[in-house]
Structure 1
Amino acid sequence: TEGQNLATRFITQEGVKAIIGSVTSNVTIPVSLVANENKIPMITGTATAEGVTVNEDGSRKPFIFRACFIDPFQGKVAARFALNELGVKTAAVFYDRGNPYTVGLAEAFRAEFEAGGGQIVAYEAYTEADTDFSAVMTNVAALKPEMLYLPDYYNKVSLLAKAAKEKGLDVPMLGGDGWDSEDLDFEALAGNYFTAHYSADDPSPAVQKFVQEFEAKYGHKPDSFAALTYDATNILLEAIRIANTDDTDKIRQAIQDLKGFQAVGGSISFDENGNPIKAATILKVRPDKTYEFVTTVNP
């Protein structure tokens, strides 16, 4: 791939000792193979697929890390928020059976919700082509769930939310970072919640300092891509400082051994697969097309 060719050139011809990136998982995964093979530490801010830091057989790529949490973690956090903050005991889950992102979130939500004493009254699969949810919502409404978990992207979630309201299912709805779009149906989803990596409205001093400095330089508020890539860069710089060498194996070890590193996204340590152990943010959808910071949920 183009990404792999660039990475090979940077490493073999330009003597690069570390890589920050890429943005999406479909580019980051092939590049990670080149970096890992050449023993070059690589950290992505924003690629969330599990396959970024592990091979298909589940074995670890020891030189690859990320600053964002992985997809299943959002499902866990949503379940804890539903049980502990919303105080619900029953839920219905809708997911796209052909999309690993929504399947992963749905499975993680179900496992954590049931482990916490909750009951899943409906676990409904659909396909990307489906647009009419009135029949399935009629059936689910009869089961009287206290909330709906909708871990899909904004376009599908908007259709599901409208169908639910039409069937009188006026209960809290929860989703993942796929909701985060200006094209979300804010009217249909106002008052509902989703998990996110970061919020510019988080009152934490580290977040506010970053937001002010970013705005002063670029003239607009930083989004989660900016915040996560800033964190990835600072994690790498801190590891180089600790290692005090350009020996790539020592830099890799320093990243792996970081404990409680204070980033914009909160305190970060790394698990055995190079994924960060950190808090997630809960945001509430407002009808004025903005999001309200609600809370952070620790891992």
Structure 2
Amino acid sequence: MRRGLCFLLALVLLIPVFVSVSGAAASNTIKIGIFEPMTGANAAGGELEVEGIKLANQLYPTVSGKKIELVIADNKSDKVEAATAAARLVEKDKVVAIIGSWGSSLSMAAGDIVKNAKVPTVGASCTNPLVTQDNPYYFRVCFIDPFQGTVMANYAFGKLKAKKAAIVQEVSNDYAVGLASFFTQSFKKLTKDNNCVVAVANYNTGDQDFSAQLTNIKAKNPEVIFAPGNFTESALVISQARKLGITCPIIGGDTWETQEFLDIGKKDVEGVVFST
């Protein structure tokens, strides 16, 4: 929730600029699009951000004497639906700015739409650097994955004293693939060993059985597992790893900061470490 609150407060400071170059200048209402996954695999994350945004709107309902109206569009945790939702906010709802989205893939799907429409858009959690690359209308108020991946590699090498790592990545998720890549690059530099990643296991969003991938990883005997991915699948990966007898530390990224991650993983996720 604090992400959404900080995010809207930052946006509030920019709204007078947005209004001055938009049709909202002649209206008593400023429409801000909320572009988040309210259903689908990323729904829990989207709901967190929307709750924070609504709270910020309650605290600051007006800007420069104009009422803030939030227009919520569900991108349904789907790249195609994300493009459609962004287009609807721009073309039908005529918003002057957009907030979102939880999920870098979803934000990237909306990139060309907000760029071509010249609608300023700010993400609170879309950490993949490609979201804002070559797009002067997309901004973020969070760290990016090169930083996040480096931090987790430093933790694995410096704190855990690990020199062999395994990667478990959600290959259908741009966020997870990018974060795994940045972790790998940093970990190789730290260990000075190009073979320090002893196994890479892939899965898709929605998968529930990871026994084959984890059995292979167990045989490689890594000293740490880096498993960036959505909270649901990540919690299942951790639970199944523990049931297979994998005892090494398991670390991940900022998508793990949801109640659902704890509810699904239960005692198996106790002691895991992630960036946030």
Q: TM-score, normalised by structure 2?
A: 0.56
Q: Which has the higher helix share?
A: 2
CA distance in 2 between partners of 1:165 and 1:120 (Å): 20
Query: Are 1:99 and 2:173 counterparts?
Result: yes
Match of 1:23 in 2: 101
Match of 2:271 in 1: 191
Query: RCO greater where, 1 or 2, for CA within 8 Å and sep 6 or more?
Result: 1
What is the aligned length?
186
Match of 1:66 in 2: 140
Query: Are 1:182 and 2:259 counterparts?
Result: yes
CA distance in 1 between partners of 2:272 and 2:238 (Å): 10
Query: Are 1:139 and 2:216 counterparts?
Result: yes
Match of 1:229 in 2: none
Q: 1:176 to 1:5 in 2, by over 3 A?
A: same
Aligned-partner SS, 2:202: strand
1:46 to 117, 125, 128: 125
Q: Deviations over 1:211-245 (max 9, x none)?
A: xxxxxxxxxxxxxxxxxxxxxxxxxxxxxxxxxxx
Which amino acid is the alignment partner of residue 176 of structure 1? G
CA distance in 2 between partners of 1:32 and 1:137 (Å): 35
Q: 1:183 to 1:122 in 2, by over 3 A?
A: same
2:232 to 155, 160, 172: 155
Shift of 1:41: 4.9
Shift of 1:98: 2.4
CA distance in 1 between partners of 2:169 and 2:219 (Å): 19
Query: Are 1:166 and 2:243 counterparts?
Result: yes
Match of 1:282 in 2: none
Is the contact between residue 89 and residue 146 of structure 1 (CA under 8 Å) also seen in structure 2? yes
Q: TM-score, normalised by structure 1?
A: 0.53
Is the contact between residue 128 and residue 174 of structure 2 (CA under 8 Å) also seen in structure 1? no
CA distance in 2 between partners of 1:31 and 1:124 (Å): 29
Q: 1:137 to 1:2 in 2, by over 3 A?
A: closer
Aligned-partner SS, 1:125: strand
Is the contact between residue 93 and residue 123 of structure 1 (CA under 8 Å) also seen in structure 2? yes
Shift of 1:27: 6.7
Which amino acid is the alignment partner of residue 157 of structure 1? S
Q: Calculate the aligned-residue CA RMSD, in Å.
A: 3.0
Which amino acid is the alignment partner of residue 198 of structure 2? V
Which amino acid is the alignment partner of residue 174 of structure 1? I
Aligned-partner SS, 2:248: coil
Is the contact between residue 127 and residue 175 of structure 2 (CA under 8 Å) also seen in structure 1? no
Q: Unpaired segments of 5 or more residues in structure 2?
A: 1-83
Shift of 1:194: 0.7
Shift of 1:141: 2.1
